[in-house]
Amino acid sequence: MKKHQEKVAELEKRIKEADHLTPEEKSITLEKIAEWKLEDKAFTLLPAALQKLSEKIDPILEEIGLI
């Protein structure tokens, strides 16, 4: 579980730093991650849901090993 938490934290960091995402895309994505973390869904839904949210997230997910 700790490994998943680290991956989600890394994902959040990289989303914030991503130059190819608009501020609105970053905000929406980070809000969804926060919601899923509260609902304990982040670790099971995160990769598929983020892919649907924005194809621009794929490179980040691949880099940190979530897809």
Question: What is the pLDDT, as a whole number, of residue 26?
Answer: 92
Number of domains in the chain: 1
The stretch 19-37 carries a mean pLDDT of 90
Backbone φ and ψ of 51, nearest 5° = -60, -40
Q: CA-CA distance, 61 to 38, in Å (whole number)?
A: 20
Q: CA-CA distance, 67 to 62, in Å (whole number)?
A: 5
Question: What is the pLDDT, as a whole number, of residue 4?
Answer: 73
pLDDT digits (tens, 9 = 90+) for 33-67: 888 777 666 566 666 776 677 777 778 878 887 77
Does the pTM surpass 0.85? The reply is: no
**Domain range for residue 31?**
2-63
Listed range (3-7, 17-21, 47-51, 63-67) with the worst mean pLDDT: 47-51
- Residue 40, number of CB atoms within 10 A of its CB: 9
